Amino acid sequence: MPPIIWIDGTYYDRATGKVSVFDHGLLYGDGVFEGIRVYNRRVFRLPQHLDRLYASAKGVWLEVPLAKPVLHRLVEEAVGKSGLDEAYIRLLVTRGVGDLGLDPRKCPKPSVICIVDTIQLWPQDRYDKGLVALTAATPIHHRESLSPRIKSLNYLSHILAKVEGIAAGVDEVIMLDAQGYVAEASGMNLFAVTNGTLKTPPAYAGILRGVTRDAVIELAREATYGVEEVPLNRYDLYTADEMFLTGTAAEVVAVTKLDGRVIGHGQPGPITKELAKRFKALAIRGD
């Protein structure tokens, strides 16, 4: 049984799914990936995830060796084989096997890997009470260095931020960009709610444009809340009525304390709760 692992056309299990030590994905973090959710045996927003994967690959001069519709079918086939109703998919394209130098031209064939498993980031009480977060000193990548819009295999800055949070005993971290604007959490996008209006950093500022973020923006507009994609300072978060994070693995989760400041009333707010509920319904509906 799970996980199901697919590497370049062959299925493996946890014990046998292995990659070469000469794969530049391992040697240099040279590759791109997606985290995708399965609800009720249906893959949530697979076209959007595939679009982002192929765009990320283009951003790092990597050609995905399969056409998008073929990869779409393979992901669905792997989910079917897993037998899981609820699952988390990790889809990767690595530069492939090369020599010990950096040159990607020495890697003739990118590898495509698909893992179908399960995930749970936090126990239910974190969703009920909200997360305690701090602003990490580690910023996200500068957008003209490794663009944060590319979901690359280089997650060290996000991991280092996460380590700061772990060392401080909090649940999650907020990361700033190189200019000091609020960017995102370690693997999630963020929203502040003030006077019934949602505010979130714009993708062009240099953040990962989350599939969950986009879904929540649609849901908020449907529910007639205002949504503004604007640069945010930490002040905007500290003084918000509500704050929440969105991500494929986390879904929608409130932040009730940031850098020692209680956000709003210190509990998940009504708009956060409503959007979390609407997101669950959307995920189960699957559109």
Interface with ligand PMP (CB under 6 A), residue from 158, 162, 199, 278:
158
DSSP 71-116: HHHHHHHHHHHHT-SSEEEEEEEE--B--SSS-GGG--S-EEEEEE
Using rule CB under 6 A, residue 174 touches ligand PMP: no
Using rule CB under 6 A, residue 138 touches ligand PMP: no
Using rule CB under 6 A, residue 212 touches ligand PMP: yes
Is residue 162 annotated as part of the catalytic site, yes or no?
A: no
Q: Residue 151 Cβ, how far from ligand PMP at the closest point, in Å?
A: 6
Which of 244, 276, 220, 216 minimizes the C-alpha distance to 130? 244
Question: Does the CA dihedral 158-164-166-172 come out positive or negative?
Answer: negative
Strand, helix or coil at 285? helix
Beta carbons of 145 and 108 less than 8 angstroms apart? no
Beta strands in the chain (DSSP E): 4-7, 10-12, 31-39, 42-43, 87-94, 111-117, 131-135, 172-176, 182-185, 189-194, 197-200, 226-229, 242-247, 251-258, 261-262
The first and second tokens of residue 87, run together, are: 């699952």
Q: What are phi and psi of 230, to 5 degrees?
A: -140, 150
Write the interaction track for ligand PMP spanning residues 67-106; mark x where CB under 6 A is met and - where it is not.
Answer: ----------------------------------------
Beta carbons of 105 and 61 less than 8 angstroms apart? no
Q: CB-based contacts of 21: which residues, under 8 Å, 6+ apart? A: 27
Site stretch for ligand PMP (CB under 6 A), options 8-16, 100-108, 241-249, 271-279: 241-249
Interface with ligand PMP (CB under 6 A), residue from 50, 57, 193, 208:
208
Which of 57, 55, 52 minimizes the C-alpha distance to 93? 57
The H or E element spanning position 211 is helix 211-222
Interface with ligand PMP (CB under 6 A), residue from 24, 95, 143, 213:
213
The catalytic position among 151, 162, 199, 257 is 151
Nearer to ligand PMP, 95 or 149 (CB): 149
Q: Residue 143 Cβ, how far from ligand PMP at the closest point, in Å?
A: 13
Site stretch for ligand PMP (CB under 6 A), options 16-24, 102-110, 121-129, 183-191: 183-191
Write the interaction track for ligand PMP spanning residues 28-67; mark x where CB under 6 A is met and - where it is not.
Answer: -------x--------------------------------
Residue type, 214: D
Q: Residue 188 Cβ, how far from ligand PMP at the closest point, in Å?
A: 5
Nearer to ligand PMP, 242 or 251 (CB): 251
Distance spanning both ends of the chain, measured CA to CA: 28
Using rule CB under 6 A, residue 251 touches ligand PMP: no
Interface with ligand PMP (CB under 6 A), residue from 3, 210, 268, 269:
210
Q: CB-based contacts of 9: which residues, under 8 Å, 6+ apart? A: none
Interface with ligand PMP (CB under 6 A), residue from 136, 211, 217, 243:
211
Using rule CB under 6 A, residue 199 touches ligand PMP: no
What does the binding site for ligand PMP look like in residue numbers (CB under 6 A)? 35, 158, 184, 187-189, 208, 210-213, 246-248
Active-site positions read: 151
